Amino acid sequence: MEDAAFSDEFCRFLRAAVPTVDAAEVLLLLHREPERWWAAEEVLGALAPSVSLSGSAAAACLAVLLASGLIASGPDKRVQYRPGFGELDAHVRTLAQAYRERPVTLIRVIYALRDSKIQSFADAFRLKGK
């Protein structure tokens, strides 16, 4: 996987839909079994012990993924991987590939994007692009 895979569009997707490493872990777990409906506790159980998430943190991750149109919520509050459109699915596949092949870079990018809001504010006043 090359640096080009971290395109502006993919980074925009990460910033909007995968703001934390925990959210990436949850999303990739759901992505691995797209047919399955998951309860929040099952998500926590499947991620443990390598990923330690509190119930409220998992709920926050699921809320972000739901708002981004990456997962669907059932009547019993179970969730399933269901991207709203094909482009989102392509981004998630890129995310899965990055997680497999370049996890350190991916984590660095997610943290860098999280801290980039103030930089975005400063960049807004650039009349010409970088």
Partner 1 sequence: MLPLNVMLALLAALTSLMCTVLLFRAFAANGVRLLLWSALCFVCLTVNNLLLFVDLAVFPDADLRVPRLAAALTGVLFLLYGFLREAE
Tokens (6 digits) for 129: 């692009």
- Kindly state whether residue 85 participates in binding partner 1, applying the rule CB under 8 A: no
97-116 binders of partner 1 (CB under 8 A)? 116
Count of residues binding partner 1 (CB under 8 A)?
A: 12
Please give the angle made by the CA atoms of 106, 83 and 85, to the nearest 5 degrees.
110
We find the least distance from the C-beta atom of residue 118 to partner 1, in angstroms, to be: 8
Query: Which phi and psi (to 5°) does residue 34 adopt?
Result: -65, -20
Among 35, 75, 86, 125, binds partner 1 (CB under 8 A): 125
Measured distance CA(40)–CA(74) in Å, rounded: 12
Restricted to residues 4-43, the positions that interact with partner 1 (CB under 8 A) are 12, 15-16
List, in order, residues 6 or more apart from 16 with CB less than 8 Å away. 68
Smallest gap from residue 106 Cβ to partner 1 (A): 19
Contacts with partner 1 by CB under 8 A lie at: 12, 15-16, 116-118, 120-121, 123-125, 127
